[in-house]
Amino acid sequence: MSECLKRSIYFFLAMTFLASASAVQAEDTENHKTLSPYFFIENGDPSVDRFPLKSNDVHVNINGVLADVIITQKYANAGARPINARYIFPAATRAAVHGMTLKIGEHIIRAKIKERNLAQKEFNTAKKQGKSASLLKQQRPNVFSMNVANIMPKDIVEIELHYTELLVPTDGTYEFIYPTVVGPRYSSQSEADSPETDRWIKNPYLVQGRAPGTEFNIALSISTGIPLQEVVCPSHETEISWESKSMARILMAKSEKSAGNRDFILNYRLTGKTIESGLMLYSGEEENFFLLMVQPPEQVRPADIPPREYIFVVDISGSMNGFPLNTAKKLLKNLIGHLRESDKFNVVLFAGGSKVMAPASVPASGKNIHSAIRLIDRQQGGGGTELSSALKKALSLPGDETYSRTILIITDGYISAEKDVFHLIQQNLDRTNVFSFGIGSSVNRYLIEGMAKAGQGEPFVVTKPHQAPGAAERFRNYVQSPVLTRIAVKYDGFETYDIEPPAIPDLFAQRPIMVFGKWRGNPRGVIELTGLGGSGEFLQTFNVSETKPLELNSALRYLWARTRIGRLSDFNFKKNTPENKAQITALGLTYDLLTAYTSFVAVHEVVRNSEAPAEDVHQPLPLPLNVSNLAVGGSMSRVPEPELYLLLVIALLIFITTMGHKTYFRRRTQGPFDRRSLQQVMEIRGERTPQTKKVRFKRRVDGCRRRANAERML
């Protein structure tokens, strides 16, 4: 076979391999690419406005324990082509969203609540017909999506959202939280097979440090009826003005430049650290509602505390890199460093995989504590966030029945499979309880609160390093002694039904017990709440006839419905059944509430875009404050990357070239009947042989000698 023919065959094989590899890779990438956030890249097309959301204005009115919130999202199209905008944004986990309006110029359209699929269908039809429309959907209890269709050039579109939230104090401190940004979620599921409710995860993000293109403003007013002792905003620079001892107004300071990349947090206390408690009544046209708030007894620590086993499950993924992980390290050093010698502990670190400090929990000796802290200090943060597998590993560790086991999960919560984690925790309630620590400026509070709720523990959120010691101290107090156990409520002469929650779990924190419900007939009779505290039996009674129904309490109907939906949907740790879905849908439609199965839709019944279809634009989100670029991963494939195929082809081509060169060299240096010496071969190739090297060295030496003799003669 001629060498030319051989090289042709090699080249044909290489090209065939490259073509088949590319086809397989393209097919596998399409089928197995994971659902992932990605970085926004400017496309350079000036005719399309890629940042249509121009501002977020929030107005909050806090009256007693109720927060009434109105959000105005302003969209504008500065480009030359019509656009369809999508914006992913967060909300408080307990927010009851009960209204939306769409404003285009002088036209105001009030949105209707409809079943999710019907609302989507109506929106799609309006979009296709060239009408302007808006669609609000719940993707998670704390993550919403807003779609706005056919925003024409130079348009200004305003969307107004209305929600109500109940504020529950802890240790005498009330806290209002307004989340401003959804952090990037880790997901290992295939994009092709992902459900519609998870598609929002694939969203563009700006690189770390780039300011959001949307202005954020918030204004709050507080009216408590009881003198305020303190009002503090630890998250943002604010300006506080006092209208009276019990009324204050809070505005964003002009010096606050980048306000929309972290949770807005406002804390306030009443004089003497008291809390509002008692009974609230509302009498509606068709239904009546009540809210009972009971101040628990003072916490008493028992003298004899049984030994405990603590398992620390720590997130070291890419989103925890830098500030979040450094804060987590500080928290862990405090938690582990204060364990008693009678306790045991272990550490499970997780990212894309997980590893355990020891095969079984070890005594909390000085040596073991020092080893654990050194292990934690070495972590840097990187990779995915496989919390479920790490939790399974922690739960499978061998235990000692004489020890009470507590699992502490420390994470920013940037995962998408929240309910899988909830279900796993609830399946193991007979063996452990779970406390969760959210670390970061904008954590996934749905996951943090849900894990604690499923594990009958308490959630903590640490946004700054200096908060770590306080959070650790509160945790120790909660674990050592619950405030109240065996809680029961009895209604005597007061006809009630649809009580939420149906059963009240043990109370760890110093916060009021909250009970919602409906009532019939006249408001009379007695309510009794009993339990077992550190000082013995606890009893508190309320005379219903002493409380009058007030129109100001009309938000109770939304809060009752939202509490029931939360139990059926948000923190339902079992698989949703058709009956469960039907109940949630009925609640949403009856009480005009946004749920997983009901959405708000508004359509402006005028054809405004009769030309080419509008361009779909996904509003890029900023990374939360102190979250690194490692939190955003590109498409992750379970097949080899394209670069691997390219390297293989290059290697094959190099092999072909080398074989051709060797053949050519062999023909130049080797005849059919004789073999030349190595020196002859090297001379043909122009390389230095040992003999030529000696000759050249001798010439250089002779030259030096001649120059030296000439200098002596001179």
What's the pLDDT tens digit per position in 39-62? 998 777 889 999 999 999 999 999
The predicted pLDDT at position 608 comes to: 94
Backbone dihedral region of 221: left (phi > 0), alpha (psi from -120 to 50 degrees) or beta?
beta
Q: What mean pLDDT, rounded, does the chain reach?
A: 84
Closest CA to 214 of 41, 414, 50: 50
Model confidence pLDDT, tens digit, residues 299-338: 666 555 667 899 999 999 988 988 889 888 888 888 998 8
Please give the average per-residue pLDDT across 117-130, as a whole number: 97
Alpha-carbon gap, residue 175 to 169, rounded angstroms? 7
Q: Which tokens belong to 657?
A: 């070239």
Beta carbons within 10 angstroms of residue 501's beta carbon = 13
Helices (H) and strands (E) in the chain — how many of each? Answer: 13, 33
Confidence of residue 571 (pLDDT cuts 50, 70, 90): low
**Residue-level pLDDT at 1:** 54
The predicted structure's pLDDT at residue 425 = 85
| pLDDT, tens digit, 9 for 90 and up, residues 385-429 | 889 999 999 999 998 878 888 899 999 989 887 888 888 887 776
Beta partners for residue 310, in sequence order: 345, 406
pTM over 0.75: yes
pLDDT for res 677: 47
| Contact residues for 190 (Cβ-Cβ < 8 A; gap 6+) | 31, 32, 33, 34, 35
Q: For residues 224-233, give the mean pLDDT.
A: 92
Report the pLDDT averaged over residues 5-27. 51
pLDDT of residue 689: 53
Strands 526-533 and 433-439, how do they pair? unpaired
Q: Is the pLDDT of residue 383 over 90?
A: no
pLDDT-based confidence at 676, cuts 50/70/90?
very low
Question: Could you give the dihedral angle defined by the CA atoms of residues 660, 666, 672 and 678, in that order, rounded to the nearest 10 degrees?
Answer: -170
Q: Phi and psi at residue 640, in whole multiples of 5°?
A: -55, 145
> What is d(CA 683, CA 697) in angstroms, rounded to the nearest whole number?
17
